[in-house]
Structure 1
Amino acid sequence: MAVNNPYKAYQQNSVTQSTPGELTLMLYNGCLKFLNQAKKGIETNNIELKNTNIQKAQNILRELMVTLDMSQSVSESMASLYDYMITQLIEANIKNDAVILDEVYGLTIEFRDTWKQVIQTNRQKQYGAPGEI
Structure 2
Amino acid sequence: MMQVAPNPYRQYLENAVLTADPGRLTLMLYTGAVKFIHQARDCLAARDIPGAHRACLRAQDIIVYLLETVNREMEIGKNLFALYDYMYRRLVEANVKKEAAVLDEVAGLLEELADTWEQALKLKGQQAAGG
TM-score (norm. length: structure 1): 0.90
Instruction: Give the % identical residues.
Output: 39
Instruction: Tell me whether 1:126 sits opposite 2:128 in the alignment.
Output: yes
Q: Distance in 2 between matches of 1:59 and 1:8?
A: 20
Match of 1:98 in 2: 100
Instruction: Tell me whether 1:21 sits opposite 2:23 in the alignment.
Output: yes
Instruction: Tell me whether 1:63 sits opposite 2:68 in the alignment.
Output: no
Deviation at 1:70, TM superposition (A): 1.5
Match of 1:51 in 2: 53
Match of 1:34 in 2: 36
Q: Distance in 2 between matches of 1:92 and 1:53?
A: 11
Q: Using CA pairs under 8 Å that are at least 6 residues apart, name the structure with larger relative contact order, 1 or 2.
A: 2
SS across alignment from 2:71: coil
1:91-114 Cα deviation digits (max 9, x unpaired): 111211100100001000011111
Match of 1:87 in 2: 89
Q: Which amino acid aligns with 2:89?
A: T
Gaps of 5+ in 2: none
Gaps of 5+ in 1: none
Q: Which amino acid aligns with 2:129?
A: Y
1:13-35 Cα deviation digits (max 9, x unpaired): 21122111111111011001100
Provide runs of 4+ in structure 1 moved above 6 Å.
none
Q: Which amino acid aligns with 2:57?
A: Q
Match of 2:113 in 1: 111
SS across alignment from 1:71: coil
Q: Which amino acid aligns with 1:34?
A: F
Deviation at 1:6, TM superposition (A): 1.9
Deviation at 1:123, TM superposition (A): 0.8
1:65-98 Cα deviation digits (max 9, x unpaired): 1111122111111111111111111111121110
- The alignment yields a C-alpha RMSD, in angstroms, of 1.6
TM-score (norm. length: structure 2): 0.91
Q: Distance in 2 between matches of 1:35 and 1:99?
A: 11
